[in-house]
Amino acid sequence: MKNINRNKQLFFDFGRDYEANLDNFFFSSKNKLLKSELENFLNGAVSQNIFLTASNGNGKTFLLNSILNHELLQNLQVIYIDMASLLQEKNYFDELSNFDLICLDNVDQTAKLLEVQIFNLINQCKDSYTNLLFASSHHPDSFDFLPDLVSRFKAFKQYRINAIVDDDVVDCLNFVASRLKLNYPEDLINYFSTRIKRDFLSIKTTMQDFDKFLYSEQKQPTKMSAASFLKDYS
């Protein structure tokens, strides 16, 4: 096991979801290949660095945390860093190449003054065999970063988390309800399917909030109670 700077690990600990795992993520029909590739990544079948692209709400941060949590259970040293939160000019990435896995989220929001640091980090990790998993709302082709840094990003294996389409919404609602142990009738699921935002995070959050609403109002899960809930829900 690599020698880790624990203070550095704690410094970057914000933004972590220690409950996330791949079994609780809905992989739509267009994301089955991504699921297979991530499982291969976790099983060590592939060692290439991965760059995930997804619109907000489609699960990139959830997937990063799921992979980190899996690797923690294997006693590997991992770290999650939200690039959108790093705004000062300081050496954030010293000694990070000692980790087994580094996940950088919101890479497209990297501050200009940190571009060289990320470039150097990628080079250091190549020498230390540290795996890298980066995520962004946009593909590297659209980045206005240093050309050499963009080239490094594009050398990663590229995957996109495809958005949930209309045909997937009912399946996603049933999946989330099952994971939350919510026994909702089919007509209620269909009712929500035409009135809910089409992204994993929104669907999951809405189902959780509806369950809390039913508990607090002492109501049964019906279309009438759903209508009452959605009336003031945003």
- The answer on 115 and 211 residing in a single domain is no
What is the distance of C-alpha 231 from the center of its chain?
30
Which has more pLDDT, 48 or 4?
Answer: 48
The residue segments making up the domain with residue 115 are 6-160
Same domain, 21 and 117: yes
> 42 in a domain, yes or no?
yes
Q: Does residue 209 share a domain with residue 135? A: no
Please check whether residues 206 and 133 belong to one and the same domain: no
Angle between helix axes 147-154 and 115-128 (nearest 10 degrees) is 40
In this structure, is residue 190 part of a structural domain? yes
The mean predicted confidence, pLDDT, of the chain is 89
Q: Is residue 1 part of a domain?
A: no
Report for 5-19, 80-94, 157-171: range of highest mean pLDDT: 157-171
Q: Are residues 128 and 14 part of one domain?
A: yes
Q: Is the distance from CB of 115 to CB of 18 less than 8 angstroms?
A: no
From the number of C-beta atoms within 10 Å of its C-beta (0-12, 13-18, 19+), residue 84 rates as middle
Residue that is last in its domain, among 116, 141, 160: 160
Is residue 104 domain-shared with residue 201, that is, in the same domain?
A: no
Q: What is the mean pLDDT of residues 147-163?
A: 95
Lowest mean pLDDT among 57-61, 100-104, 126-130, 163-167: 126-130
Look at residue 108 and tell me whether its pLDDT is greater than 80: yes
In a domain, 25, yes or no: yes
Domain boundary residue among 160, 190, 214?
160
Answer whether residue 3 shows pLDDT above 60. no
Residue 80 lies in a domain: yes
Residue 205 resides in a domain: yes
User: At which of 144, 160, 176 does a domain end?
Assistant: 160
Residue 206 one-letter amino acid: T
117 shares its domain with 193: no
CATH number at residue 12: 3.40.50.300
Give the total number of structural domains in the chain: 2
